Structure 1
Amino acid sequence: MVTLLLLSLPLLPVLITFYHSPLRTFYRRVCDMAQKVLGGKVCVRRTHAYVFSECTHGQAESVLDTFELYSKKHASSNIGLEKGVFLDEVVRRKAPLRVLELGMHCGYTSVRILRLLPNSGKLLTVEVDPLTAEKGEEIIMVAGFKSSQVLPCSSAEAISSLASHLGEDCLDLVVMDHDPEQYLPDLLALERENLLSKQSVLILNRVAEAGAQTVLEYINTKPNNYTACQQVKDMLEIHFVPFIPLK
């Protein structure tokens, strides 16, 4: 044991440098992705196949219930029932007409939102993974909805082209559940493009992660524009009000 410790001492500066470097974050993300792929922890194809075959087509509630049944026995990336009910409450209270969802996770959140939108409402869902986008869009159709559009591209690409999809409208609700490292860059892009309405609501999932924490640090510097409201588990509701300086 002593010999092992002595042999490890020359590597100590390297280990310390690695621990505090961006490489550590990159390494952890690569390991997490590899674990999911190799371990089969979350499988879009299996999730889709189960929901598609077991739910009652055309009934949104049946689709959601089937997702919940699947997640009881298998690893799932959807937000789950408790946070889902919280999201329902926000959608009912704010009654948004234009919704942007970043991160699809096979369509669970999409269906939750769509079933509560008015007839004139529209959902734009962005998913960078082509397979997830394809399977998620099928689940949305299985649930009986056509008032949505799936954009199979990165969030940055989608935000830069949103004006062509929204016309003169702005976003009333933005749900961020993609890569937390993209939360702040995407929020800044939404601001630059003036895509947030006068009373937009942001829903951030996984706010405990480092990337999401940068958003919280940012909104704390803009108390006139953003207010953090309710939180359920690691899902947070944030209200946006554009600050208009007095003349």
Structure 2
Amino acid sequence: MDPETQWRDVDSYLVAETVAEDDALVAARASAREHGLPPIEVAPNQGAFLSFLAQVAGARRVLELGTLAGYSTIWLARAVGPHGHVTTVELDPRHAEVARQNLDRAGVAAHVDVEVGPALDVVARLADTGVEPYDLVFLDADKASMPAYLDLAMRLVRPGSVIVGDNVVRGGGVADPGSPDPGVQGVRGFLHAIGTDPRLEGTALQTVGSKGWDGFAVARVR
């Protein structure tokens, strides 16, 4: 058996044993395929991981960059509960509409705002308007802009807030300092910032599974 097939088989087993993915979550993933959205949402066990991070952090306010069909948004919205709030930012209006339908089906739309537009513009506006700090920030938009997203996120957090970056291994490409891939260079800048910014403490982990070879970075604001 080739490694990627084995990774997927193990992920299927782990999800079946440990993840309670209900009809609304299954429908959110299916709707992405039905509407032709790319299959790049987090895996079910990764969604559960994000939910646990939010709960361990005691998060009541979450900012997500990269909504897609709203699959991870549902996990995060359920983690913060009905008295919490999630702001999620999506570039594509068509994706945002699919997400809104999925959030409504999951019963969490009342405490989720779907902002449409370039993430850098939306987050800068949020920072400029002085919104209440976010307890968890999930960065899952374009990777070339990861350092800029982190800079802006630091204006929107408080001591103890958690910042999570997705897709930071890039199939191993992140280890190549000469890579011409803007996404790789963006992630490298993001990871360097986490490791050198005295306001942050964090680490990064490789993952393998149904989403291939990739990883998460997790940082905490000191």
Scaled by the length of structure 1, the TM-score of the pair is 0.65
After TM superposition, give the deviation of residue 213 of structure 1 in Å.
2.2
Q: Deviations over 1:188-244 (max 9, x none)?
A: 1223xx2111111111111013122221112222255232266644342422324xx
| Cα distance between partner residues in 2 of 1:166 and 1:231 | 35
Deviates more, 1:148-157 or 1:65-74: 65-74
Gaps (5+ residues) in structure 1?
1-59, 243-247
Pair 82,204 (structure 1): closer, same or farther in 2 beyond 3 Å: same
1:92 pairs with 2:68: no
Whether 2:200 is the aligned partner of 1:225: answer yes
What aligned pairs does 1:55-134 form with structure 2 within 5 A after superposition?
A: 61-67=22-28, 76-134=39-97
Aligned: 1:149 with 2:113: yes
How far apart, in 2, do the equivalents of 1:84 and 1:176 lie? 14
Aligned to 2:158: 197
Aligned to 1:16: none
Q: Structure 1: which amino acid aligns with 2:45?
A: E
Separation of aligned partners in 1, 2:202 and 2:86: 24
Structure ranking higher in helix proportion = 1
- Cα distance, 1:178 vs structure 2: 0.9
Q: How has the CA–CA distance of structure 1 residues 201 and 230 changed in structure 2, closer, same or farther, with 3 Å as cutoff? A: farther
Query: Is the 2:28–2:71 contact (alpha carbons within 8 Å) kept by the matching residues of 1?
Result: yes
Secondary structure of 2:80 counterpart: coil
**Residue type at the aligned position of 1:139:** N
Alignment match of 2:216 (pick from 230, 233, 236) = 236
2:216 and 2:162 mapped to 1: Cα distance? 10
| Distance (Å, rounded) in 2 between the aligned partners of 1:96 and 1:139 | 22
**Identity level (%):** 24
Deviation at 1:85, TM superposition (A): 2.1
Larger RCO (alpha carbons 8 Å, 6+ apart): 2
Higher strand proportion, which one? 2
- 1:46-66, CA deviations, whole angstroms, 9 ceiling, x for partnerless residues? xxxxxxxxxxxxxx8211133
Alpha-carbon RMSD across the aligned residues, in angstroms, is 2.6
Aligned-partner SS, 2:70:
helix
Q: Secondary structure at the match of 1:204?
A: strand
How far apart, in 1, do the equivalents of 2:30 and 2:125 lie?
A: 37
* Distance of aligned partners of 1:188 and 1:164 in 2 relative to their CA distance in 1, 3 Å threshold: closer
d(CA) in 2 for partners of 1:115, 1:231:
26
What code does the residue aligned with 2:158 have? Answer: S
SS of equivalent to 1:188: helix
TM-score normalised to the size of structure 2?
0.71
